[in-house]
Structures are given as structure tokens and as C-alpha cells.
Amino acid sequence: MGYNYSSVARATELSEAVTGSATLLKVSSVTGLPTVPFTVVVDVATESEEILTVTGVAGLNLTVMRGQDGTAAVPHQVGAVVRHMAVGRDFRQAQDHIDAASNVHGLAGGAAVVGTSSAQTITNKTISGASNTFQAVPGSVLNDGTVVAAKLGTGAVTTAKISDANVTTAKIADAGVTTPKIADANVTTPKIADASVTTAKIGDSQVTAAKIVDGGVGTAELADGAVTPAKVVGRTVRAVADGTAATALETAETPTASAPLVVWNQSTNRLQVSEGTGFFDQSGVVLGRYPLVTLSGSMPAGTLSLASSQTIPAAPFGESPYQLRVSASIRADIPAGLGFRLRLLYDGVTFAESTLTNSGGTQNTMTLYASNVAYVNNPASDTTHVLVAQLTALSGTILNVTGGWWSIEAQARGNL
């Protein structure tokens, strides 16, 4: 045990007598005493002299170990002198340290002191990586197989510490390379072996138009049925079957003037071009719009719109009077005794209407057609117009609603 010392400790006295077994001394002063543990001597140079080790100080009370360094624990009277002193053990401990070649500074038996300048061989030691730092350990001093993952601290192996040629395929565990571990620019075409990229290795959304070289996808490279509307970015074109013939080409998005919708007009036996959301200029004098019919399948009793309502801008020909022709047609299988109605609404008012009822004894395929013309003679006071085409099942369920279309055409009166 090491002890503490003070050069300014004053002699004090017992304020109460103590027995030979008491471990608490009450003194008149503790001025200048060092921190515990330290040595005091009671009744110095008398037959009752006793060396004590002080292990605690609380106010004027000293907690002590009695009869130290060969002295006896004896009673002491009130007023006995108590002094902080150096005694024989203090000198013996220093000399023992000077003389010792081992077992010093708290080391275990047989241990030698490790210096910081002279070369020494250290054996049978455990060095904690948590409280020690190892620097510049050359590879030549590491035995093969001695550096394992468990012995490497988190973050200890960085890219700068790995030589270019030291990472080989044999040193990478299966599944060790994952997407988060690969930098964006590190995978280049020369690093990918032919046949290594298969369909199973390509994510559903990874192939975009920007990643396909122009001319890279030919007809021969498309499997039958592989191109569906959902798989084509931008405009999807598909044929809509009507009986045995294709009667319309539809787009999966709203058509525009730069990418129009082409519709087969059954009443005129010709293809018509539409932008869907605004008029498409045909020869400068006829403006047309052919909304995409979205109604299909069976329909119970009630009313549905063939497509969204269409807003026609005011005065499409400026100051020139014009006429607005609206036509629509729908075809469906009508069970015996049931009927259906096609109605065109112009600014909320019925503009044209057609009704058919199957009066026969069996189900029949029937076609409804409705058309009308509005004349606008004073464009200066013209406003926008809203057109709606509605289909109504009068009673029961009509079946196989197909072949629907409607068209809106405006023509300047001066060109009639």
C-alpha cells in the first residue's frame, strides 16, 4: 500500500480516551493532514507509543487501523499527542523498490517492468484492443490466418488500406457484394461478362427508354403478346376489335395535337384525327374532336356517359359564324323486350336523342345513332359550350356494349 504525506500537518491531541481496540480517534484538530491513507503516531517517544494508519477523516474523527509497523494497540488518555510522521515502513518500501528486479509497481509475481526505449521480448500477455492503439503493424509480422473479421475493429479496414490487386474473386464471399456496396460508376460494360445479365437479374423498373439504344429492339426480339399497353411508355396504340374487324386505334393517354388519336368514323367510312382535349385543325376550315369512348361490357339499368364531357371554346373561328355538328353511335346486344337510349346534351339541354327497343322474341345486336347541328351566327357574344353523350339502359341489363364512338366538328359558315 502507498501512503500520503504532508509537510504542514500540525500535532494534535486526543479529545477523548481510547481503548486498545477502538478504531475511531477524536482529535482537537486536523489542520494540514494529507488525504488518506496516511500515518499518525500517538504518545510519541513514550512506552505507549503506537503507529496507526488513518483510512478515513470525518470532521475531527479519524478512522484508523491500530498497531501498525510492529507497535502494539494500547489504550491512550485524553490529551495524548497525535502526530503525522514518517515511520520505518516508509523507508523500507522505498528501499525494497530500489532493490527489486521484478514484482514492482503492482505487477504479478515474476513479472518484469516493460520499458519504453530498450528492446524487450514480451510473452504471455493479453493486450486489449479496446484500450490500446496499434500503429504501422507490417504484414510480415502477421501469421497467415491470424487476422480474422472478429479481430478487426469497426471501420478499421478502409479502401485506402487495400492494395488494388489484393481483392480477388476468391477473397469475396458468396453474396458478399450487394447493391449498396457498389458505387454508381463502378459497374461498367467491360466489367460485366457476356451472358451474366439475365432477365432474372434485371429489376422490373430498371429498363427504361433512355437505357435502350436506338434500333436495339427489333420485331424479332419481341415475344408474341409481350408488348401490352401497360408495358409501353408514352403512347400505347392498340386495335379495338369490333365484330371481325378493327374499328379504332386507341391511345393509353390523352391525345394531343402533336400526337393525335385516329378513330374510324363508321358513319362516313373514313379515319378521323383528334387531339382529344382541343380542336385539331383540318385544312384550316374544319375543326374536329373525337373523344375516346371508354364504355364497354354489360350495363345494368341506368345512365352512363360514353366519355368525359367535352368543352368547346368560344368563337373557334374568330368573328366568323360557324356550325357545330355533333354525332354519336353505340352498339350493344339487347335482350328481348329491353331497350336503350342515346342522348346528346348541349349545355345541359337535350340536343339529339335516339331510342331502340328489341320487340322481337330473342336477343338482337342493335345500333343507336344520334346527330344534330347547332348554328352560331353571332360569335361576338359566343361562350364556351359543354357537350355530353349519354347511354341509358331503359330496363334490365344490356350486354356487350361495343362499337361506341362520337364526334364533334365545327366548320366556318363561309365555307359551307
- Residue spans of the domains in the chain: they are 12-93, 263-415
Q: Which residues neighbour 403 within 8 Å (Cβ) at sequence distance 6 or greater?
A: 242, 243, 247, 266, 329, 330, 331, 367
Q: Look at residue 10 in the predicted model and tell me its pLDDT.
A: 95
Q: Look at residue 378 in the predicted model and tell me its pLDDT.
A: 86
Q: Look at residue 267 in the predicted model and tell me its pLDDT.
A: 47
Task: Tell me the pTM.
Answer: 0.36
Does the pLDDT of residue 336 top 80, yes or no? yes
Q: What is the dihedral of CA 240, 241, 245, 249, to 10 degrees?
A: 0
Provide the residue type at 211 as one letter: K
Q: What does CATH list as the number for 12-93?
A: 2.40.10
Distance between start and end Cα atoms, the chain:
122
Q: Mean pLDDT, to the nearest integer, of 2-20?
A: 96
Does the pLDDT of residue 53 top 90, yes or no? yes
Chain CA centroid to CA 204, Å = 19
Contact status, residue 399 vs residue 330, Cβ threshold 8 Å = no
More confident residue, 179 or 102: 179
Q: Mean pLDDT, to the nearest integer, of 304-333?
A: 82
Cα dihedral across residues 301, 305, 306, 307: positive or negative: negative
Q: Look at residue 282 in the predicted model and tell me its pLDDT.
A: 47
Max mean pLDDT range (34-38, 143-147, 201-205):
34-38
Going across the sheet that includes 24-26, the strands are 12-13, 81-84, 38-42, 50-58, 61-65, 24-26
Q: Which residues neighbour 42 within 8 Å (Cβ) at sequence distance 6 or greater?
A: 14, 25, 48, 49, 50, 52, 76, 80, 81, 82
Does the pLDDT of residue 156 top 80, yes or no? no
Q: Look at residue 139 in the predicted model and tell me its pLDDT.
A: 67
What is the DSSP code (8-state) at residue 18?
B
More confident residue, 20 or 182: 20
Q: Look at residue 315 in the predicted model and tell me its pLDDT.
A: 80
Q: Look at residue 405 in the predicted model and tell me its pLDDT.
A: 76
How far is Cα 337 from Cα 357, in angstroms, rounded to an integer?
7
Count of Cβ atoms closer than 10 Å to residue 108 Cβ: 7
More confident residue, 240 or 364: 364
Does the pLDDT of residue 331 top 50, yes or no? yes
Does the pLDDT of residue 102 top 60, yes or no? yes
What is the DSSP code (8-state) at residue 29?
-
The 10s digit of each residue's pLDDT in 70-89 is: 999 999 999 999 999 999 99
Does the pLDDT of residue 274 top 50, yes or no? no
Q: Look at residue 403 in the predicted model and tell me its pLDDT.
A: 67
Q: Look at residue 217 in the predicted model and tell me its pLDDT.
A: 72
Contact status, residue 401 vs residue 330, Cβ threshold 8 Å = yes
Percent of the chain with pLDDT over 70: 74
The 10s digit of each residue's pLDDT in 363-402 is: 999 998 999 998 888 888 888 888 888 889 998 888 888 7
Task: Give me the residue label for grid cell 523507508.
Answer: 91
| Among the four given CATH numbers 1.25.40.10, 2.40.50.100, 2.60.40.1250, 2.60.120.40, the one describing domain 263-415 | 2.60.120.40
Does the pLDDT of residue 176 top 80, yes or no? no
